[in-house]
């Protein structure tokens, strides 16, 4: 009857048993290692106050109107289409701060026109000076009349102013 319970051992069974036993032993040893205990950071210091409940004395409510202590009227120095407002009503502003941005197109066109007009007048003045210089040379020789010379002198004077 004892023979029935004995298991027949073969070489392959022994080798398999060795591997299983080795695996279980290594798992057991690795589980028994010491765990590293990390130090917890200290708790932050806080202040604690005991709050007591107290009743508020009698109070009154009033309806009122308030006014600002300082007011300013804002006007742009020039006319034009307003492109941007760079402040909020009631806010503080610094000296020199840009408050409004106005469309510069009309002023740029007027500037271009004025520059062209200036260039034209400068050319006219130079031309009048050359004509007067020629007339000076010609009047001495009698090639132009005194009235033509006077007219050229007047034109040069007007072009200068």
Question: Which of 103, 117, 101, 151 has its CA nearest to residue 131?
Answer: 151
| Residues in the chain with pLDDT values less than 50 | 1-2, 5
Annotated domain spans of the chain: 121-160
Report residue 22 as tokens: 């080795």
Convert the pLDDT of each residue in 16-35 to its tens digit: 777 777 777 777 766 665 66
The pLDDT of residue 126 is 92
- Report how far apart, in Å, the C-alpha atoms of 160 and of each of 9, 41, 119 are: 131, 89, 13
DSSP assigned state of 33: S
Say how far apart CA 9 and CA 74 lie, in whole Å.
Answer: 108
pTM of the model: 0.42
The pLDDT of residue 37 is 66
């Amino acid at each position: 009857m004892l023979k029935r319970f004995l298991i027949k051992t073969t070489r392959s069974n022994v080798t398999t048993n060795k591997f299983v036993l080795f695996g279980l032993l290594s798992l057991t040893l690795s589980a028994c290692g010491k765990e590293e205990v990390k130090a917890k950071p200290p708790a932050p210091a806080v202040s604690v106050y005991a709050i007591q409940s107290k009743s508020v004395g009698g109070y009154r409510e009033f309806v009122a109107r308030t006014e600002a202590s300082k007011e300013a009227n804002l006007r742009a120095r020039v006319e034009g289409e307003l492109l941007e407002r760079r402040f909020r009503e009631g806010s503080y502003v610094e000296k020199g701060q840009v408050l409004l941005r106005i469309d510069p197109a009309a002023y740029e066109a007027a500037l271009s026109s004025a520059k062209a007009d200036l260039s034209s007048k400068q050319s006219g003045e130079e031309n009048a000076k050359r004509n007067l210089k020629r007339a000076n040379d010609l009047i001495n020789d009698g090639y132009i009349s005194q009235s033509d010379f006077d007219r050229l002198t007047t034109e040069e004077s007007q072009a200068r102013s």
